[in-house]
Amino acid sequence: MDKFTTLTGIAAPMPLVNIDTDMIIPKQFLKTIKRSGLGKNLFDEMRYNADGSEIEGFVLNQPAYRDAQILVAGDNFGCGSSREHAPWALLDFGIRCVISTSFADIFYNNCFKNGILPVVLPQDAVEVLMEDARKGSNARMTVSLEDQTVTTSDGRSFGFEVDPFKKHCLVNGLDDIGLTLEKVTAIDSYERTAAQSRPWV
């Protein structure tokens, strides 16, 4: 998993509330267990017409936001079913940070396990960031996990809270497998001891 320390990039404004996981990645794309390749289907029903052509009005289809790495969204982002494909699709598109006033718990935790930083801020702060994101690709927002701040293109900064353990994992690029591998020496020692004391196992 890629580390997350400081990200400076284009932020896309998506002022919709209750964006659920089926909107993020519709159910017909859940057949794969690969984490790659889902970016093209991110927000599929909002991005494409029935014939596969792009819907021009959708924010991520607009030239200014095609390379967005930050998403500023409305309240209750990631609600609905607990599909891990949702953060997979966001990450594969290039989104490394989602900012909202609240997230569904399972989606929130899945983000950290997949290298995405979900930032919770008050409504007034999100509104400021939403306006900054509307400036387009010339306005770059900076998210610092180390300092726990989000800074607008004109230098206005907002602090956010994050669980220390989740922060440690994301800053060091540790998913569940990475955390387990940190204990590999202790695991190997246990296995050797177990093999000697119980050779019949």
CB 39 within 8 A of CB 24: no
Note the pLDDT of residue 36.
86
CB 91 within 8 A of CB 115: yes
Going across the sheet that includes 117-120, the strands are: 117-120, 97-100, 70-73, 6-14, 140-144, 149-151, 157-159
Architecture of domain 6-174: Alpha-Beta Barrel (3.20)
* Predicted TM-score (pTM) above 0.85: yes
| CA distances, 89 to each of 41, 84, 86 (Å) | 7, 9, 5
Q: For 49-73, what is each residue's pLDDT tens digit?
A: 999 999 999 999 999 999 999 999 9
| CA distances, 35 to each of 44, 86, 90, 97 (Å) | 16, 10, 10, 17
Is a pLDDT exceeding 80 seen at residue 181? no
Domain residue limits, the chain = 6-174
